[in-house]
C-alpha cells in the first residue's frame, strides 16, 4: 500500500470562533497533508461563519441547524470524498506529524481499520495520556480479543477520538455516531469497531487537548451529574458488548465482565445514596455475578445483603476517602 492514502478530515464546531481557527491551522500545517478538510458548522450563532470564510478554498464548510456533535460528525463523514476519515474537535489541535505518522503505520499494516495516537493536555504537552498497557497491546494491529482487553482495563484505555484515523466502511459498519448519546458516542463506535476489526496506536503524543471549559464543553470531568450520565451510557455500551461476549476468548470475557461489574457496582452505590434500595439490590446482584474488583465486590455484596444498612456505611467510606485526599493534598 502506498503511504499516501486519501484522507478527509472532519471537524464539527459550534460557537468556537477563536478555537476552530487554531484547530484548522493545525490540520493545514501537517507535514503530510490531508486531501480535504470538512468543517461542519452545527448552527453557530457567534463569529464562526466569518472566521471559516477566511480560509477560502482550503476547507469545505458544511452548515446545518444545531443537532449536536454526533450528528455533525455523521454529516461530515457523509460529505467526505475519501475512504479514510480523520477527526478533530474544534477546540483541540494536532501536532504537525500526526497524519504522517499514521500513514506510515498504515503502510506497514494495511489490515488496520482504525489508528489512534497518544495525546496530552495542552498545558502539559510532554505528558502522554495513553496508558502503557494500551500502547503495548495495540502497537501493532490486534484482533478482537486483544482489542477488548485493551479497551476494558479498569484504569481506562485512553484512546481519544481526535486522534482517530478510521476507514469509513468500518465506521459505517458500527452505525456511525449515535445522536441519542449526548456523550460517549465515540466510545460506542470504538467498541463496535474493536470487536470486528484490527486497530492500532502510534505511541507518540500527536494531539493536544484543551482543559478550558467553554459553553459547549461536554466532558466535565469531576462533575457529579456528568459522571452519572457517563456511567449510564457506559453501561449501555457494556450491555451491548456482553451480548457478543461468547465470540471472545476466556481472558477477554473476564476483562469485559470485570469492567461491567465495576460500573454496575458503582451504579448500585449511586442508587443507594438516593434511597432506591430495591433497584440497587438487583443491580448489585448482577455486579457480583460478573466478579468486579475487590472494593466494588464488597460494596455490591453489602448492598445485595442489606441495602438500607449500606447507605450510611457508603457515606462514611466516602467521607473517609475525601478526608484522606484532603490530608494528602495538604501534605503535598
| Domain stops at, among 176, 209, 242 | 209
92 in the same domain as 37: yes
CA distance 129 to 135: 10
Q: Is residue 81 part of a domain?
A: yes
Q: Is residue 218 part of a domain?
A: no
Q: Is residue 52 part of a domain?
A: yes
Comparing CA positions, the residue from 153, 266, 162 lying closest to residue 205 is 162
- Cell readout for 264 is 454496575
Q: Is residue 2 part of a domain?
A: no
pLDDT, position 153:
93
CA distance 53 to 123: 29
190 in the same domain as 151: yes
277 in the same domain as 164: no
Q: Cα–chain-centroid distance for residue 260?
A: 17
Q: Is residue 330 part of a domain?
A: no
| Domain stops at, among 159, 174, 209 | 209
DSSP per-residue letters across 208-234: EE-----TT----TT-HHHHHHHHHHH
Which positions ≥6 away from 310 have C-beta within 8 Å? 269, 272, 280, 299, 302, 303
pLDDT in 10s for each residue of the chain, 332 residues: 445 799 999 999 999 999 999 999 999 999 999 999 999 999 999 999 999 999 999 999 999 999 999 999 999 999 999 999 999 999 999 999 999 999 999 999 999 999 999 999 999 999 999 999 999 999 999 899 999 999 999 999 999 999 999 999 999 999 999 999 999 999 999 999 999 999 999 999 999 998 755 445 444 555 778 899 999 999 999 999 999 999 999 999 999 999 999 999 999 999 998 999 999 999 999 999 999 999 999 999 999 999 988 888 776 555 444 433 333 333 32
Comparing CA positions, the residue from 106, 2, 90 lying closest to residue 38 is 90
pLDDT, position 213:
53
68 in the same domain as 27: yes
3-state secondary structure at position 84? strand
203 in the same domain as 116: yes
pLDDT, position 2:
44
Q: Is residue 315 part of a domain?
A: yes
91 touches 19 (CB < 8 A): yes
Q: Is residue 331 part of a domain?
A: no
pLDDT, position 320:
46
28 in the same domain as 86: yes
Calculate the alpha carbon distances from 327 to 88, 221, 317 in Å: 39, 22, 15
Q: What is the pTM of this model?
A: 0.90
Q: Is residue 42 part of a domain?
A: yes
198 in the same domain as 122: yes
Q: What angle do CA 255, 156, 262 make, to 5 degrees?
A: 50
300 touches 294 (CB < 8 A): no
CA distance 14 to 225: 22
The continuous run of DSSP H or E covering 299 comes out as: helix 294-305
Quick count: other Cβ atoms within 10 Å of Cβ 4? Answer: 11
- Cell readout for 281 is 439490590
Task: For residue 85, give the CATH number of its domain.
Answer: 3.90.550.10
314 in the same domain as 281: yes
292 in the same domain as 165: no
Q: Which residues pair with 41 in a beta bridge?
A: 13, 63
Q: Cα–chain-centroid distance for residue 208?
A: 15
- Cell readout for 186 is 465515540
| Domain stops at, among 209, 239, 257 | 209
159 in the same domain as 31: yes
177 in the same domain as 61: yes
151 in the same domain as 41: yes
Total structural domains in the chain? Answer: 2
pLDDT, position 323:
39
List the domain range (segments joined by +) for residue 318.
224-325
Amino acid at each position: 500500500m502506498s503511504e499516501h492514502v486519501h484522507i478527509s478530515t472532519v471537524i464539527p464546531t459550534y460557537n468556537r470562533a477563536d478555537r476552530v481557527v487554531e484547530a484548522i491551522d493545525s490540520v493545514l500545517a501537517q507535514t503530510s497533508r490531508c486531501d480535504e478538510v470538512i468543517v461542519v458548522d452545527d448552527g453557530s450563532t457567534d463569529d464562526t461563519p466569518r472566521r471559516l470564510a477566511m480560509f477560502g478554498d482550503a476547507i469545505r464548510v458544511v452548515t446545518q441547524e444545531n443537532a449536536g456533535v454526533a450528528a455533525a460528525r455523521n454529516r461530515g463523514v457523509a460529505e467526505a470524498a475519501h475512504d479514510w476519515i480523520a477527526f478533530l474537535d474544534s477546540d483541540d489541535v494536532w501536532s504537525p506529524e500526526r497524519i504522517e505518522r499514521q500513514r506510515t503505520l498504515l503502510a506497514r499494516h494495511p489490515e488496520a481499520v482504525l489508528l489512534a495516537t497518544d495525546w496530552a493536555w495542552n498545558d502539559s504537552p510532554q505528558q502522554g495520556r495513553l496508558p502503557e498497557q494500551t500502547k503495548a497491546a495495540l502497537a501493532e494491529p490486534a484482533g478482537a480479543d486483544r482489542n477488548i482487553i485493551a479497551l476494558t482495563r479498569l484504569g481506562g484505555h485512553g484512546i481519544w477520538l481526535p486522534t482517530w484515523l478510521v476507514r469509513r466502511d468500518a465506521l459505517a459498519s458500527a452505525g456511525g455516531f449515535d445522536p441519542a448519546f449526548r456523550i460517549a458516542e465515540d466510545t460506542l463506535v470504538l467498541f463496535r469497531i474493536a470487536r470486528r476489526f484490527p486497530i492500532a496506536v502510534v505511541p507518540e503524543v500527536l494531539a493536544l487537548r484543551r482543559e478550558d471549559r467553554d459553553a459547549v464543553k461536554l466532558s466535565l470531568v469531576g462533575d457529579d451529574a456528568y459522571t452519572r450520565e457517563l456511567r449510564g451510557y457506559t453501561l449501555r455500551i457494556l450491555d451491548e458488548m456482553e451480548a457478543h461476549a461468547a465470540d471472545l476468548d476466556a481472558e477477554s470475557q473476564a476483562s469485559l465482565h470485570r469492567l461491567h461489574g465495576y460500573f454496575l457496582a458503582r451504579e448500585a452505590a449511586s442508587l443507594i445514596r438516593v434511597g432506591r434500595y430495591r433497584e440497587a439490590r438487583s443491580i448489585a446482584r448482577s455486579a457480583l455475578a460478573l466478579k468486579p474488583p475487590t472494593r466494588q465486590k464488597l460494596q455490591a455484596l453489602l448492598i445485595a445483603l442489606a441495602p438500607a444498612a449500606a447507605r450510611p456505611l457508603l457515606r462514611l467510606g466516602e467521607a473517609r476517602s475525601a478526608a484522606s485526599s484532603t490530608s494528602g493534598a495538604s501534605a503535598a
